[in-house]
Amino acid sequence: MTSVTAVNHPLVKHHLARLRDGETPPAEFRTLVQRLAVLLAYEATKDLQLAEIEVQTPLTTTPGQVLQQRVGVVPILRAGLGMVDPVLDLIPDAEVWHLGLYRDEATAQPVEYYSKLPTASPVDVALVLDPMLATGGSAASALAALQRWGVPTLKLLSLIAAPEGIAALEAQFPDAQVYVCAIDDRLNDQKFIVPGLGDAGDRSFNTVPTDS
């Protein structure tokens, strides 16, 4: 079964409350997304494998450890872009591969419009970045693409999730790992997460329609 971890931490709850607030301006919203992405990435990378090395300090040599696996950071465009930089700050040698997916509002199904995944030499661990796990359609498409590439370990990092999206991934990707800041109540009739935080892409990039 898919491993689902809801990160239970005071800082997560503190930043998430402000993120949900409809009055939070885009600049602050982006900053909050970055802070939460760091906390998610910290939790999601606890099991990365290490290699032993010898380090020369100013005084002597001492054993050390460095990351052994190739890590791929895979943001789902466009909202996932806001989570990339803080994860790269933690793993500066990670590879970044982009996937463009949007939800058809009529069918609520994902539509792929861009893919920058190679066909050979897959990374060892992929961190898929998508702020919201709603129906699970976009996340499932991304995980499927990474499976076709041959990535053995798949991890999805989302700020909030709906139970319906988690159930969809559990049915399709039993070996995947999901890390979220909160699991919300449900999806509404328009397939938006409730209570949610609105559209993460629009709120991040200040593109909320003026007539909404």
- Residues labelled catalytic: 103, 107, 199, 202
Considering just the CA atoms, what is the radius of gyration of the chain in Å?
18
46: Cβ–Cβ under 8 A, 6 or more apart, which residues?
A: none
**Measuring CA to CA, which residue among 137, 144, 132 is closest to residue 176?**
144
Determine the Cα–Cα distance for residues 6 and 139; give it in Å rounded to an integer.
17
CA–CA separation, 200 and 79 (whole Å): 6
Picking from 82, 141, 133, 83, the residue whose alpha carbon sits closest to that of residue 114 is 141
